Homo-oligomer: A and B are copies of this chain.
């Protein structure tokens, strides 16, 4: 059975990228590899829409998040965390590990934290070293208004650290214009790669704060070393250089397609999915849906554990369920990275078939018709 990986990480990896991974391994401390690193960094900057320097870590995305905390937070420093789901909670856990004075702006799952709340917290805590948040909160499918939050944080001494792990490449993200000082990303979501690499862009403002702090209590995630080495197209420790070479292939596809187009495509796919969800009488879980991911409330009468299993076992469509308290209450269907309009229409059909099979009343073709109408106004060509 054809397998379609529609989870919010990992996501489908293009064939050209996979083939790059199968190439014979060469040494990593060579002019040839520096050229690959240089291209990777240049492409990442285009995808991040930034002139800032970027560190490449061999780790999961959490490694880049840890670096964004360990570099800047010393015991007692105030850290404001925007917490709208599991990944906001990860920022909080990291801040606790590094003994921050933690100010949590917590909201219910499915809701977003507003820019006004961030503004008020910064007024109350003018010494805050950083504001940590998610561009896209993968656990609930909401998108934060990082543009507006950036305009607020920019006027203060605080840094804005954004987890863009499931957002970058799936929704508009203008690092420099929006004032994102630290943007964390991972390879395995909209950047169309297997897991193994994490990225962190670092603004000049963040560098100044970094230089004012004593050495961080970490060796592997010592950002100072990564930035110094990145300036020479190198890394402080042995990088997963075959993954970096493959990442270049996927990034090239995105940049060749144009980031404006990448963002527009993702938005259209999200609109098509949301139209299908409404047409099928279902409800999205997210108050403000992120572009790369649609979270759907499991309707009454349908078993939340059975639905994703059926989708996988009968239709080969792998979606994610809910995590923690959302277990069996939502499903999460990703449409990020190497996914296009034709994929989305097919996935919507599988949602229809599976719901009918589980006894949920949905008129055949309602979902696909609604989705197809959205696309017909704005066809999404696949990246290639």
Number of interface residues of A (CB under 8 A): 49
Stretch at the interface among A4-12, A123-131, A200-208, A299-307: A4-12
Chain A facing B: main interface SS: loop
Q: Using a CB-CB cutoff of 8 Å, which residues 3-21 of chain A contact chain B? A: 3, 5, 7, 9-13, 18-19, 21
- From B13, B218, B221, B239, A25 is in contact (CB under 8 Å) with B13
Query: Is A58 part of the contact surface with B, judged by Cβ < 8 Å?
Result: yes
CB of A242, distance to nearest CB on chain B (Å): 4
Total identical chains: 2
Query: Is A27 part of the contact surface with B, judged by Cβ < 8 Å?
Result: yes
- From B22, B196, B242, A58 is in contact (CB under 8 Å) with B196
- From B24, B97, B186, A238 is in contact (CB under 8 Å) with B186
Report B-chain residues with C-beta under 8 Å of the C-beta of A25. 5, 10-13, 18, 188, 194
CB of A55, distance to nearest CB on chain B (Å): 14
- Across the interface, do B26 and A194 meet the contact criterion of CB distance under 8 Å? no
Q: Which residues of A line the B interface, CB within 8 A?
A: 3, 5, 7, 9-13, 18-19, 21-28, 58-63, 66, 93-94, 97-98, 186, 188, 194-196, 215, 217-221, 237-243, 318, 320
Q: Which 4 A-B pairs rank lowest in CB-CB distance, beginning with the nearest? A: A196-B240, A22-B22, A21-B21, A194-B242
